[in-house]
Structure 1
Amino acid sequence: MRTTTPDGWDPRRPPSQQGRVVAVTGASSGIGFWAAEQLAGAGARVLLVCRDRRRADRALAALRERVPGADVDAPVLVDVADLDAVREGADQLAALDRLDALVSNAGLVDVAGRSVVGPDGHDRAIATNVLGPFLLTRLLLPALARSGTVARPSRVAAMGSMSARLVRVRRDDLGLARGASAWHAYGQSKALVQVLAFELQRRLDAAGEARVLSTVAHPGYAISAMDPPVPGIVPEGRTLVNRAETLFAQSKEQGAWPLVRAVTDPGARGGEFYGPRSPVRGVPTPHGGLGRTPRGLSSPAPQTLAAGLGRSAWEWASDVVGLASTDVV
């Protein structure tokens, strides 16, 4: 695969992130692990935000071995499905001297059967993929603003999904209180991730807050079976299904490229949407976003750009997590 984009972006050599501090959620495996590795390789100080201590420690050891001289901190333990745990983790991160980016990647992938209620009484996919990350982002915005400047804003980079195109968001039941299939719950959760990220940028713009940018990325069709083996992180071996998927999929290492570009691209605009060059794989490319007309399958799902849905989703999520919907930073 050619790794340089027509506009000259090389995902294997992102711009230097020396001096910047980046928190990556879901960093113990999958795309979060590879994003952490790529950001550490670019010189950032990377904070691993993970749910499980054992898996987090394995990721920490692997990153230090794979990236000589990596500045990777001991994990911050946060289960994003637990709002109280999110508040505790946010307190730890907000106490840092600086925080230049939040990579909001943690997500539950569960597409079989019926949706399940999580620990706070909300649909588990909605709680894990939407409400916890929304609360963490809101609580960290003041710290991000303190570290950012108009010339070099801090970033919130949210991980969306192509599945946002495959479901219609139930506007009268954003939290899926009436239940849903697990597939619909996942798709709706990922659509809401994008909706809220775009709405965050609208509110930053309305408040005149130029020290923080909200960006969105999606990984295409990324599977771990195409990743290089990493002991304790990526197992060896492929199934017959994996072998068939390799015809149109890419590795999760490559799936992290759009997310890393969303964090590091010095030319990014607020509300920028990054993904593979084709809808499912390829080099990380900007595909429009907030304020631009959606064009083709690589662009954001039109429903995720709807301002009315953005307002109602923001008010709903703010109410659920116990924050004022009018506050931004």
Structure 2
Amino acid sequence: MDAASPPLRDLRERTVLVTGANAGIGYWCAEQLARRGARVVLGCRSPERAHAAEAAIRSEVPDAELRVLPLDLGSLDSVAHAAADLGRPLDAVVCNAGVKAADPAQRTGDGFDLMVGTNFLGHFALIAQLEPLLTADARVVTVGSLAHRFARLDPARIDAPWRGSSLRQYGMSKAALMAFAFELARRWSGSSRAAVCAHPGYAVDPLTPERPGLAEVSGALRVLAAPTRFLVQGKDDGALPIVHATASDDVSNGDYWGPGGLLEFRGAPTPVAASDLVRSPTTGAGVWAAAERLTGVRFPA
């Protein structure tokens, strides 16, 4: 890894759920947390890809303590079953799974826009139903995105039909997830729990180390991508701010972490600025109410 590894707390005997742990940033979060001694629960939609990721982690961390948890964030039934099946206390949840591009006509099994339903509503329902399992000092880490900065977010129309750029809709779904996290941080104020956001910067496959079962990149493409390393980074380094937010002692409730380099595209983990929109208590209360209305799921009182 070309970014400095962050100082992390001792993760032995601590359990972390990582959603979307079978690929990309989620995989690298899972591998790095396992390397630090954490029990890692791989929350994945595809059993085959989940077991491939499990095997890849064990090839690097032979004594890793891993468990595969079937979890489709695009299905409220799957979310409820996963929360019920987990059956053990959680010290952290990394809300990583997401859809990065979709057609406006694509919907989840519950009828929500695919990106909003998966990236935000599924995670809202998951954390609400996992809340009784969270330890007294648990952390919920939501994976945000630089794309939130140009998002237009109206909580009252969060699941409305959309047209135009898929990237803009992705940014809106990530902005909703981040606004939820900052609202959760406000509601947890005064407790030992922490809700934190982090983003991976600009992380690409051609700069990422190879792992069996993950995205394959040709040698030629890796050579062509090598000169871009001064500006962007591999997904292993993109995972560092998320892992830092999950396990470092210098993280506080309501923080937002990302790469510290130019444009926040790459670099060692550092506190970064989120938009006023996602930090707003009004936005946070609005997306929380919308999520409760749409999913029918509420946090315990």
Normalising TM by the smaller chain, what interval?
over 0.9
Which residue among 266, 269, 274 is the counterpart of 1:284? 269
Which residue among 313, 318, 325 is the counterpart of 2:292? 318
Match of 2:50 in 1: 56
User: Given the two structures, how large is their TM-score scaled by the length of structure 1?
Assistant: 0.85
Contact 1:228 1:234 in 2 (8 A): no
- Mapped partners of 1:43, 1:239: distance in 2: 31
More relative contact order in 1 or in 2 (CA 8 Å, sep 6+)? 2
**1:61: Cα distance to partner?**
0.6
**1:178: Cα distance to partner?**
4.8
Match of 1:140 in 2: 130
Which residue among 202, 213, 222 is the counterpart of 2:203? 222
Paired residue type of 1:233: L
Which residue among 248, 253, 258 is the counterpart of 1:275? 258
Contact 2:19 2:95 in 1 (8 A): yes
**1:242: Cα distance to partner?**
4.7
Paired residue type of 1:173: R
**1:204-239 per-position Cα deviation (integer Å, ceiling 9, x unaligned):** 22xx5x142101000000111111111111313227
- Mapped partners of 1:129, 1:30: distance in 2: 15
**1:60-107 per-position Cα deviation (integer Å, ceiling 9, x unaligned):** 11111111311112x1111100111000001112x21x2111111001
- Mapped partners of 2:48, 2:185: distance in 1: 36
**1:171: Cα distance to partner?**
4.1
Match of 1:176 in 2: 160
Paired residue type of 1:35: C
Equivalent residue pairs, number: 297
Match of 2:98 in 1: 107
1:152-163 matches, cutoff 5 A: 153-163=137-147
Match of 1:302 in 2: 276
1:89 has 2:72 as partner: no
- Mapped partners of 2:49, 2:194: distance in 1: 30
Paired residue type of 1:235: E
- Mapped partners of 1:29, 1:215: distance in 2: 22
- Mapped partners of 1:258, 1:115: distance in 2: 33
Q: Which runs of 5 or more residues in structure 2 are unaligned? A: none
- Mapped partners of 1:230, 1:90: distance in 2: 29
**Structure 1 residues 188 and 244, CA, compared in 2 at 3 Å: closer, same or farther?**
farther
Contact 2:2 2:237 in 1 (8 A): no
SS in 2 for 1:323: coil
**1:117: Cα distance to partner?**
2.3
**1:256-299 per-position Cα deviation (integer Å, ceiling 9, x unaligned):** 00100111011321111100002111001122xxxxxxxxxxx1
Match of 1:35 in 2: 29
**Structure 1 residues 249 and 269, CA, compared in 2 at 3 Å: closer, same or farther?**
same
Which residue among 55, 66, 80 is the counterpart of 1:72? 66
SS in 2 for 1:275: strand
Match of 2:148 in 1: 164
**1:170: Cα distance to partner?**
3.2
SS in 1 for 2:257: strand
- Mapped partners of 1:107, 1:191: distance in 2: 13
SS in 1 for 2:265: coil
**1:180: Cα distance to partner?**
5.2
- Mapped partners of 2:224, 2:293: distance in 1: 42
Paired residue type of 1:231: P
Which structure has greater helix proportion?
2
- Mapped partners of 1:177, 1:32: distance in 2: 29
1:252 has 2:252 as partner: no
- Mapped partners of 1:284, 1:314: distance in 2: 28
1:120 has 2:110 as partner: yes
**Structure 1 residues 308 and 24, CA, compared in 2 at 3 Å: closer, same or farther?**
same
1:262 has 2:253 as partner: no
- Mapped partners of 1:269, 1:309: distance in 2: 21
Match of 1:231 in 2: 212
Q: Percent identity?
A: 35
Paired residue type of 1:181: S
SS in 2 for 1:100: strand
- Mapped partners of 1:165, 1:40: distance in 2: 32
SS in 1 for 2:18: strand
**1:16: Cα distance to partner?**
2.0
- Mapped partners of 2:275, 2:105: distance in 1: 23
- Mapped partners of 1:2, 1:80: distance in 2: 32
**1:37: Cα distance to partner?**
0.6
Q: Which runs of 5 or more residues in structure 1 are unaligned? A: 5-9, 288-298
